[in-house]
A and B are shown apart, each in its own frame.
Chain A
Amino acid sequence: MTDAAPIDATPNPQGTPASPVPATAGAGAPGGRPRVRRRALRHRLADYWYAWAMITPVVAVITVIIGYPLVRGIYLSLTDADEANVERTIGVNTIEATYEFVGLENYRDVLTDDVFWDRLGWTVVWTVACVGITFVIGLTLANMLNRAFRGRTLYRMALILPWAIPAFVSIFAWRMLFNERNGILNGVLDSGGIEGIAWLSDPTWAKIAVIAVNVWLGVPFMLIAMLGALQSIPAEQYEAAEMDGAGAWQRFVNITLPGVRSVAMTVVLLSTIWTFNMFPVIFLLTRGGPAGSTDILVTEAFRLAFINSPRDFAGSATWGVLILLMLVLFAIAYRRALRRQGEVW
């Protein structure tokens, strides 16, 4: 996170070699630094107004369209809002909201409900399986592509094609392939004398199917990111290892893996979060079915608010807040783990 050589926001007014305001001053810093605290706001404005002006648009956007809805979502999760009692407009008449504050009742209901724990368990399995498989395939293919041979560019183009196509289009393509009665997968199985598989209507196969499609969608990103990481490893390291007689596997374990570590960490963190929140694959492929067996937390939250009738806004908001809490905890734990291993992040 720290930059190599940041420059101060303004030319140094005192002309002293060190900036009068410690360069690392963050939000928490002023308490510990009397000099900073004593500076008048006017001076600080003069020092930092360029930077502050530059971040203003984004701060405004985040406050208005992320911060406010977030606060409101947390509030809704503490009420009994549903389709029947939120403020709504019918023609020219506006009906006032009549939902009430119910405290933590929603949370108690959700957390004591088996549905939540079922969905959470499957979400964890889904995330770990998808990220793990995608990472292994991506790294393997990247390793294969990271050398000179004929047809390399063609393979590369072919392998990242799934990324180029909007996910919802590919998902419909897969739905067609998975079609139980007429799909090509079962057609091939039939002609091989194997009975067709109920890809999307058997709970176990449906889980395998959604994971397979998500891996298919995720490999290209992983491949490109890892290829970039592999190419940033200096060739001299490999040459030195060769001089010392290291074999291909030793080179992989001792040079390649440490070399791609920092990119891999970031990419794995990102794809864990993306997969945890992956809505379209499940919503479009199985709609969470059969009987909710492939529903992950986000699709369940969506179902509560937009598919079930009556729409349960408060319940959905509760699920949303719980999902967010889990992700934040995960990111903090991940960052801790990285730090303990000496990563600067």
Chain B
Amino acid sequence: MATDTTRVDGTEPLPVPGPAGRGTNGRPRGRVRRRGERGPLASFGLHLTLLVAAFIALFPPLWLLVTSFKPKSETFSLSLVADFTLDNYDHVVNDTAFLTWFGNSVLIVLVTTVVGVLISSTTGYALSRFRFPGMRPLMWTLLITQMFPMAVLIVPLYNLMSRYGLLNQPVALIVTYLTIAVPFCAWMMKGFFDTIPVSIDESGRVDGLNPFGTFWRLIMPLARPGLAVTGFYTFVTAWAEVAYATAFMTGEDNLTLAGGLQTFVNQHTQDWHLMTAAAVLIAVPATVVFGYAQRHLQSGLTAGATKS
């Protein structure tokens, strides 16, 4: 080991030029560490940094969880649970409209996800495989609409919904969330289809399938991980959307979870203990779904992000 790392101190110019010379990284000159090997100090630093980061990442949600088991009088005590109680959960589920909000959210988000992913996958496929007039403008439109701030659409959409009597109806939010989901899903799906070899399409065509058949029978089954990631992402985005939900849905029975959680803590009420219980009930399903999907996320993101 020492033999192949000591020759740095030779006099030849370094083939890899860099602003930082040898020795500036605090290590003895002439001893170049390879990837994957660390001194005990570096190892300690690595674990310490990661531990601190993990603590910061975990603490707020964990504290929320801990607090949700405390009675109201101890909500802000600094100790861990002294008097374990499920009263907060009991109250949230039975005495508030929480389950209605939950149902509203599930309905809206599921319909948005299914519709959004289905209609955008054909577009993603067309963009990935064909060249046709209107392709570039479409790609630009998709890209630009992804960065539409809700501020530019919220007022006209609100007025439209108001005119057609759709405010406080789930369909208003479904339609609105499609404006978020469709450009994003189409763009992501294009990235996924790009990773599927074109030779598969060609073999389908040789066997007499038309492009729709190729798409539906050959490519869609292969794109299942992509569909899962895209759908999951839409799900999470819509589940956590606040602005439209706050503006379009009023009245206790029409709220979604994002609106409902706000009712616990606002100018008039300060029911932090109930808020924590509701928050845990909202977070758990999302976290479970996330845990299941996160294995695919990394490959999914890079497939969507790089356009190789």
Residue B40 at the chain A interface, CB threshold 8 Å: no
Q: Which residues of B contact A345 (CB under 8 A)?
A: 307
B2 contacts partner chain A, Cβ-Cβ < 8 Å: no
Q: A26-B135, A50-B212, A216-B56 are in contact. Are A183 and B76 (CB under 8 A)?
A: yes
Is residue B87 within 8 Å, beta carbon to beta carbon, of the partner chain? no
Q: Are A66 and B153 in contact (CB under 8 A)?
A: yes
A225 to B262, CA, bound (A): 31
Residue of A nearest to B185 (CB): A58
**Which chain B residues lie closer than 8 Å to A244 at the CB level?**
14-16
Contact across chains for B283 and A169 when beta carbons are under 8 A apart: yes
Whether A170 pairs with B19 at a CB distance below 8 angstroms is: no
Q: A162-B61, A169-B261, A169-B283 are in contact. Are A298 and B16 (CB under 8 A)?
A: no
Bits for B43-70, please: 1 = Cβ < 8 Å to A, else 0: 1001101100110111011011001000
Question: How extensive is the interface on chain A, given as a class?
Answer: 35 or more
Instruction: Confirm or deny: B169 has a beta carbon within 8 angstroms of a beta carbon on chain A.
Output: no
Q: Give chain A nearest CB distance to B286 CB in angstroms.
A: 5
Min CB–CB distance A265 → chain B (angstroms): 9
Contacts of A52 in B (CB 8 A): 132, 134
Q: Nearest chain-A residue to B45 (Cβ)?
A: A144
| A124 close to B (CB within 8 Å) | no
With A and B bound together, what is the CA distance between A141 and B57 in angstroms? 12
Which listed residue, B119, B151, B156, B162, touches A72 by the CB 8 Å rule? B156
Contacting residues, chain B, for A175 (C-beta < 8 A)? 265
Binding site for B on A (CB under 8 A): 1, 3-9, 11, 23-27, 29-30, 44, 47-48, 50-52, 54-55, 57-59, 61-62, 65-66, 68-70, 72-73, 76, 81, 86-89, 137, 141, 144-145, 147-149, 151, 155, 158-170, 172-177, 179, 182-184, 187-188, 191, 216, 219-220, 224-225, 227-229, 231-232, 238, 241-251, 253-254, 262-263, 266-267, 273, 276-277, 279-280, 283-284, 297-298, 301-302, 305-306, 313, 316-317, 319-321, 323-324, 327-328, 331, 344-345
Additional A-B contacts beyond A224-B301, A320-B149 (4; CB < 8 A):
A51-B132, A246-B16, A249-B20, A305-B155
